Amino acid sequence: MNRRGVLGVALLVALLVAPGSSQVSQATPDAPLSVYLTEIVNATLETDGLFYDCGAWNVTGNVTIYNGATERVFDVWLPIWLDTTLTYLTPLSVSEKPSYAYVEVSAPGASIPSWVLNSYPSSGFGDANSMHWVHITELQPGDRVVLTYSIDGASISTCPPIRVSETIDPEKIVDGQTQDIEINITVVNDLPWDVSVKLRKILPPDNGPSDGWRDAAGNPVFTSAGTPTSGGSGLSTDGKQLNWTGDGSWPDGWFTVAANSNENLTGVVVRGTPDLSEVGGSTQKVHMGTIYLRFTLARAISGSRVGYLYAVGDADFEAKKEQDTSTPSTWYETLVVYDTSGTFDYEIVYTKLWATTTANPEGTPIAGSENEQVGSPIAVIGPGEASASYQYGPFSFSSGSVPKVWAEFRARIERDETYGWMNYTNTTVGVGPDGRSKFIVREMIWVVRGYLVKAKKEVRPGPVNNMTCITIELYNAGEWMTPYVEFYDLIPLNFMAKESDASNESMMFFPIEMLAQDADSNSPPDYSQVVTGLTGYQKGYLWKTYPLPAPQMGFAEWFDGPGAANVKTVTVTLADGSTRQWTVYPVDGSTINVNGTNYAEGSTIAAGGTDFLVSWVQNTLDTGAGRVVVSAKGTYENLNMDVYNPVVVHYCVIGKGDYNLTDIFVVGVDPRNTLDATAVFMPSAGVEFGAATFEQWLVIAVAVLVVVGVLLERRRKSPSQ
Amino acid sequence: MPSRPLHAFFASALVIALCLPTLHALGAQGEYNPLVYERLEVTARVSEDGAVTVTVRATLRNDGRVPVVPGYGKLPVSGIRQRSAGGLPLPGQRRVNLSVTVLSARDLTRNVDMEVVPLWENGSLVLRYSLWQPLRPGQRESFELSFRIENGVARGVLFDEFAFGIGPISNRVERGRVVIFPPAGSRVTYASPGPGSRGESVEWDLSGLPEGGRVRVWVEFSPLPLPMLPIKGYLVFWGALIVVMLVLIASRALRRSEGRRPRLAPRARPP
Residue B181 has pLDDT above 90, yes or no: yes
Domain shared by A174 and A282, yes or no: yes
Domain shared by A356 and A236, yes or no: no
Q: Distance from first CA to last CA of chain A, Å, rounded?
A: 159
Q: For A537-568, how does the pLDDT look when each residue is reduced to its tens digit (9 = 90+)? A: 889 999 999 999 999 999 999 999 999 999 99
Contact A304, A62 (CB under 8 A): no
Domain shared by A548 and A477, yes or no: yes
Contact A76, A139 (CB under 8 A): yes
pLDDT number for residue A386: 57
CA distance B132 to chain A (A): 7
Of A457, A688, A692, Cβ closest to residue B161: A692
**Residue A720 to residue B260, Cβ atoms within 8 A:** yes
Closest CA to A673 of A412, A483, A465, A438: A483
C-alpha–C-alpha distance, residues A487 and A678, integer Å: 10
Domain shared by A177 and A287, yes or no: yes
Q: Where are the alpha helices (DSSP H) in A492-589?
A: none
C-alpha–C-alpha distance, residues B262 and B255, integer Å: 14
Q: Which of A109, A127, A158 is the last residue of a domain?
A: A158
Lowest model confidence (mean pLDDT) among A459-468, B96-105, B262-271: B262-271
**Residue B32 to residue A685, Cβ atoms within 8 A:** no
CATH label of the domain that carries residue A265 = 2.60.40.10
The gap from C-alpha B206 to its chain's centroid, in whole angstroms, comes to 12
Domain shared by A252 and A345, yes or no: no
Domain shared by A131 and A81, yes or no: yes
Q: Distance from first CA to last CA of chain B, Å, rounded?
A: 143
Domain shared by A196 and A149, yes or no: no
The gap from C-alpha A27 to its chain's centroid, in whole angstroms, comes to 37
Contact A474, A487 (CB under 8 A): yes
**Residue B166 to residue A687, Cβ atoms within 8 A:** yes
Residue A16 has pLDDT above 70, yes or no: no
Contact A294, A197 (CB under 8 A): yes
The gap from C-alpha A251 to its chain's centroid, in whole angstroms, comes to 21
Q: How confident is the model at residue A64 (pLDDT cuts 50, 70, 90)?
A: very high
User: How many CB atoms neighbour CB A496 within 10 A?
Assistant: 12
A716 domain-assigned: no
Of B11, B167, B218, Cβ closest to residue A663: B11
pLDDT number for residue A29: 66
Q: For A218-274, how does the pLDDT look when each residue is reduced to its tens digit (9 = 90+)? A: 899 999 999 999 999 999 999 999 999 999 888 888 999 999 999 999 999 999 999
* pLDDT over 70, % of chain A: 95
Mean pLDDT of chain B: 81
* pLDDT over 90, % of chain A: 54
Q: Which of A401, A420, A439 is the last residue of a domain?
A: A420
C-alpha–C-alpha distance, residues A197 and A429, integer Å: 10
Residue A63 φ/ψ, nearest 5 degrees? -115, 120
Residue B98 has pLDDT above 90, yes or no: no
Q: For A495-509, how does the pLDDT look when each residue is reduced to its tens digit (9 = 90+)? A: 888 888 766 678 999
Residue A175 domain boundaries = 162-302+426-448
Lowest model confidence (mean pLDDT) among A194-198, A494-498, A553-557, A600-604: A494-498
Residue A632 has pLDDT above 90, yes or no: yes
**Residue A46 to residue B25, Cβ atoms within 8 A:** yes
Q: Identify from B53, B69, B144 which residue to disrupt to test chain A contact, counting A C-beta atoms within 10 A and taking the largest count.
A: B69
Angle between helices B233-259 and A695-717 (to 10 degrees): 20
Q: For A69-116, how does the pLDDT look when each residue is reduced to its tens digit (9 = 90+)? A: 999 999 999 999 999 999 999 999 999 999 999 999 999 988 899 888
In sequence order, what are the residues at sequence separation of 6 or more whose Cβ sits closer than 8 angstroms to the Cβ of residue A242? Answer: A200, A201, A202, A222, A225, A226, A233, A234, A235, A236, A268
A27 domain-assigned: no
pLDDT number for residue A398: 92
Lowest model confidence (mean pLDDT) among A129-133, A517-521, A716-720, B184-188: A716-720
- The continuous run of DSSP H or E covering A238 comes out as none
Q: Which of A101, A128, A158 is the last residue of a domain?
A: A158
* pLDDT over 70, % of chain B: 83
Contact B172, B210 (CB under 8 A): yes
Q: Identify from A165, A667, A688, A710 which residue to disrupt to test chain B contact, counting B C-beta atoms within 10 A and taking the largest count.
A: A688
Taken in order of first residue, the domains within chain B and their CATH numbers are 29-234 (2.60.40)
Q: Coil, strand or helix: which one is A240?
A: coil
CATH label of the domain that carries residue A392 = 2.60.40
For A433, counting Cβ atoms within 10 Å of its Cβ (0-12 exposed, 13-18 middle, 19+ buried), the class is exposed
CA distance A439 to chain B (A): 16
Partners of A705 on chain B (C-beta within 8 Å) are 242, 245-246, 249
A13 domain-assigned: no
Contact B153, B160 (CB under 8 A): yes
Lowest model confidence (mean pLDDT) among A51-55, A528-532, A571-575: A51-55
C-alpha–C-alpha distance, residues A79 and A129, integer Å: 10
Number of structural domains (chain A) is 4
